[in-house]
Structure 1
Amino acid sequence: MRRGLRLLVPLGVIIACTFAAPALASEALTDTNVTFKSLAVNTKGEAVVTYTRSDGKVRHVLAWGAVNANTPVDPAVRQVRFKWDYAGGWGKYRNASYWKRVKNTCAPYDGPELPYLVAACKAADGTYWALQSWQRGLPLLGFDPWKPSQTAYELHLSHWSGDLPKLEVYAHWTYGGSWQGLFGRLTYAGSPVHGFGSTGEGNPLDRYGRNVYVDTFNSVYGAGWRRESGILVHKPTGTFCHSFVPQKPFPGYPSQEMRPPAPGERYRVTVMGPGVTPVVDWEGRGLTSADRASAASITEVFDAVMAGDARCAGER
């Protein structure tokens, strides 16, 4: 993920966004572009995910040992995470056919709506399990993918009870009405979601950190959804911001020519929930000239949501 910006903006304006390139997913299976076959959950809190890999090999992956998420209070306390056995039970039980003995006791899913849903169910203890598939690694700034990894569909497993992570997103005019932008906040169980450290490029250095991914629909990048940005949520507020401004492509991209502002008809923001909670998203319309009349009221919302975030103060 990119933390520094290379932007063309008016003199005196400093953009406070954080841009990011794909980071390591915390609870995604290692195989990508798979064909899902089944999800089974037993009364011991074990799940078996069965799928066919792109090379035709069928895998039975055993996962266990995690539910929900820890809030970021003490970096010495590890974030919850699954234990994985890609050999169907050999790693845990020294029984490669253990997966066959996992009796599925999961009932039909009756939980909240989830984006990118592949499969979900309600376990006997009342907790939920879900699988979601999405393209997290798309290149930023609306570029067409030029590497196979950038088009990969990741398969994310989650296990939770209670409320989902809360993703708040608002569209507003930034820098005196010159640009369109988004700001928001990611919380879980009433607490901000954030990590304790990151690289200079904006990659989390622990499993508490999260990046939000911003997509723009029908923009100068082209028709349909295009990936605009990846943003590291800020410590300690769980907040983030982004302005659609001219941007310099990152090193290694196919072109180094300045990219134009890309406000769209609609916006979408997606983020992996903390711990082993699900992927959540937000979608809303782009701004029009009619929205300028409500600029004062959205500024009040900005002040309330973004309180304590000095990096986004310039986008008020």
Structure 2
Amino acid sequence: MPSDPRGHHLLLRLAALSALAAAVFASTASASELIDRNAANVKLQVGASGQALLSYEARGKRWNVLAWGAENAIAPTTARPQVAFKLDYSGGYGTYKRDVWKTFRNSCRPYSGSELQWLVTACTAADGSHWAVQAWQRMLPNYGLVPTAKQAVWELRLSHWSGELPQLTVKQNWAYRSFEHLFGSFTYQGRPVHGFRTTSTGQPLDTFGRNLYVDTYDSAYGKGWKRENSFLVHKDTGKFCYGFYTHGARPVGAGARYRATIIGPGVTPDVYWESDSLGAYDRDFDLRMHEEQKSFYAGDGLCKAV
């Protein structure tokens, strides 16, 4: 029996509508929003209505993405998702049935906010809030391995906030009087940043969890910056601890310097820390930090002073 052509046309129409919906609201992740990868010639504009227009080149074409509807972040909760942008990758046509990007009027002023790492461009809107675009290599493989093309991408991330930035605190000491060690916390507005559900390998399964991405400089992995590891900040406390140990056949990744990057909660910017390594073992300093860790880890059963 021949198929009903009306059904075929209906399926085509539904497919077209699905494609349009995907183009308009392509992202539901809650963080400094991942917009695209390996972008070039990036331009950020913000209109008087509070909508942002992010224009850039990627995958062989020019993109004009409207973003709106989110600022800052909410505290971790199981009652609702984290705040997230509404995104229109059609430049406004999918939302307003017209090419908004062609007549978009920018009212954003030069950026007057705090210093940001990985910054591509930023501006301060008429209402005093800040918008920023950052780009960095989040997907690099752990333990200094050579990345594939997919792992080496530079993610283009958009943020919108007012007031204070999230706080990434990182301290250094030694574990077992031998291995260089990092510990610290991630907070926003004085509260821990953390999620509630993860995979067995520590990948967040909700919109609140965050991984910390640690790089090492001039290490046994080679010259320059290499990814050491990425790991989850802990549920309820937002704390973490990490030792530079051997991992299988890979050497110890201790280096001359360390840096760490973490995706901001909600649509706040991604936050960065960098410091020289401690160098030669200092027993007196290590004993002081050992005592500090005992109180710092209170309430966190996943870390202990060693």
Q: Same fold (TM over 0.5)?
A: yes
Gaps of 5+ in 2: 1-28
- The Cα of 1:90 is off from its aligned counterpart by 1.4
Corresponding residue SS for 2:37: coil
Please show how residues 136-215 of structure 1 align to structure 2 within 5 Å: 136-145=138-147, 147-175=148-176, 177-215=177-215
> Aligned partners of 1:79 and 1:31: how far apart in 2?
20
CA gap of 1:66–1:119, structure 2 versus 1, over 3 A, is same
- Give the C-alpha shift of residue 311 in structure 1: 1.0
- 2:114 counterpart SS class: coil
Matched, 1:300 2:269: no
Q: Alpha carbons of 1:298 and 1:209: their partners in 2 closer, same or farther (altered >3 Å)?
A: same
Partner AA of 2:52 in structure 1: A
What are the superposed Cα offsets for residues 137-185 of structure 1, whole Å, 9 maximum, x if unpaired? 001001111x21111000110000011000000111112x021110110
What is the aligned partner in structure 2 of residue 252 from structure 1? none
Unpaired segments ≥5 residues, structure 1: 1-23, 249-257
Matching residue's letter, 1:78: P
Match of 1:8 in 2: none
Q: CA deviation at 1:25?
A: 7.7
CA distance in 2 between partners of 1:25 and 1:262 (Å): 31
TM-score (norm 1): 0.85
Q: Distance in 2 between matches of 1:30 and 1:155?
A: 6
**Alignment match, 1:102:** 104
Relative distance call for 1:209 and 1:69 in structure 2 (3 A) is same
Alignment of 1:43-62 (within 5 A): 43-55=48-60, 57-62=61-66
The residue type equivalent to 1:184 in the other structure is G
For the residues of structure 2 that align with 1:36 and 1:280, how far apart are their CA atoms?
23
Counterparts of 1:172 and 1:77, CA distance in 2: 38
Q: 1:7-52 CA distances to partner (integer Å, 9 max, x unpaired)?
A: xxxxxxxxxxxxxxxxx78444442111033111012110000001
Tell me: CA distance 1:213–1:279, structure 2 relative to 1, closer, same or farther (3 Å): same
Q: Could you tell me which residue of structure 1 aligns to residue 272 of structure 2?
A: 281
Q: Report if aligned partners of 1:166, 1:188 keep a CA contact under 8 Å in 2.
A: yes
Deviation, structure 1 residue 110: 1.0
Matched, 1:233 2:233: yes
Q: Which amino acid in structure 2 is aligned with residue 70 of structure 1?
A: I
Which of these residues, 11, 27, 36, is aligned with residue 31 of structure 1?
Answer: 36
Rounded Cα–Cα distance in structure 1 between residues aligned with 2:296 and 2:89: 42
**For 2:62 and 2:296, how far apart are their aligned partners in 1?**
46
Task: Provide the C-alpha distance between the structure 2 equivalents of 1:38 and 1:93, rounded to a whole number of angstroms.
Answer: 22
Q: Which has the higher contact order (CA 8 A, sep 6+)?
A: 1
CA separation of 1:144/1:34 partners in 2, compared to 1, >3 Å: closer, same or farther? same
Q: Is residue 2:267 matched to residue 1:242?
A: no
Aligned to 1:260, which of 251, 257, 270?
251
Q: Secondary structure at the match of 1:204?
A: coil
Q: Which residue of 2 aligns with 1:91?
A: 94
Pair 1:65-2:69 in alignment: yes
Match for residue 137 of structure 2?
A: 135
1:217-275 residue CA offsets vs partner (Å, 9 max, x unmatched): 11100111110000101011001111011112xxxxxxxxx111111111101101100
Secondary structure of residue in 2 paired with 1:172: strand
CA contact (8 A) 2:33 2:158 kept: yes
1:255-313 Cα distance to aligned partner (Å, 9 max, x none): xxx11111111110110110000011101111222533211221233233322111111
Aligned partner of residue 301 in structure 1, secondary structure = helix
The letter for the 1-side match of 2:149 is P
SS at match of 2:74: coil
Deviating beyond 6 angstroms after TM superposition, the runs of 4 or more aligned structure 1 residues are none
Query: Take 1:169 and 1:32, find their aligned partners in 2: how far apart are those partners?
Result: 28
TM-score, L = length of structure 2: 0.88
Of the three residues 30, 47, 52, the one matched with 1:42 is: 47
